[in-house]
Amino acid sequence: MGIYGDHVLPRIINRAGATGQTPELRKRACAGLTGDVVEIGFGSGLNVPHYPGTVHHVDAVEPSDTAWKLAQTRVAESAVPVERSGLDGQSLPFPDDRFDSALSTWTLCTIPDLPVALAELRRVLKPGGKLHFLEHGLAPDRSVQRWQHRFEPIQRRIAGGCHLTRVIPDSLTAAGFILTDLDTFYENGAPKILSAQSRGVAVSP
């Protein structure tokens, strides 16, 4: 990815991902996680302080060495054991039916082959296992959608391949997940093209 992608972007995300509404949104996304958890797009560990006491262990999937280094203080202070166990959400190094829960926050927008990654999550989740997600994507308003489509090529270059126009809930149902909780909204204080959010829980049958 080069110096920007490998070293600069993870530091930008580390700072931006802890501002404004995001800590509260992360807390809401983590609520209800149980047992053994796989978190894809672990980043610099910004979700770690919000893991509930019902979580036993977290396997972190994170490709960036820089992000993992930035996470070390949070990991060391966590009451929940966290282990970096994978690098690629499209190829998870775990056996079938391994996890009780999965977590993804602002990650599904960047994965190149999203259907493959979602199939992998279904594979490693136990039957009835729950994917907790918090993602941005295509806005509900057509006027905002037009600007998202215009800006997306730039966004993908400056934000690590981030797509603005994915409809994450639809992708989850297409992958066979059952949505049991869904909240869609604009995050306050951010441009609408970047802040159309979906937060919810998807169950693997």
Contact 60, 81 (CB under 8 A): no
Q: List, for residues 75-118, the tens digit of each pLDDT value.
A: 999 999 999 999 999 999 999 999 999 999 999 999 999 999 99
User: In the chain, pLDDT over 70 holds for what percent of residues?
Assistant: 100
Q: What is the pTM of this model?
A: 0.96
User: pLDDT band for position 189 (50/70/90)?
Assistant: confident
Q: List, for residues 27-72, the tens digit of each pLDDT value.
A: 999 999 999 999 999 999 999 999 999 999 999 999 999 999 999 9
Distance of CA 88 to the CA centre of its chain: 13
Q: How far is CA 103 from CA 49, 70, 128, 163, in A?
A: 14, 19, 15, 19
In DSSP terms, 35 is beta-bridged to: 55
- The CATH architecture that domain 2-203 belongs to is 3-Layer(aba) Sandwich (3.40)
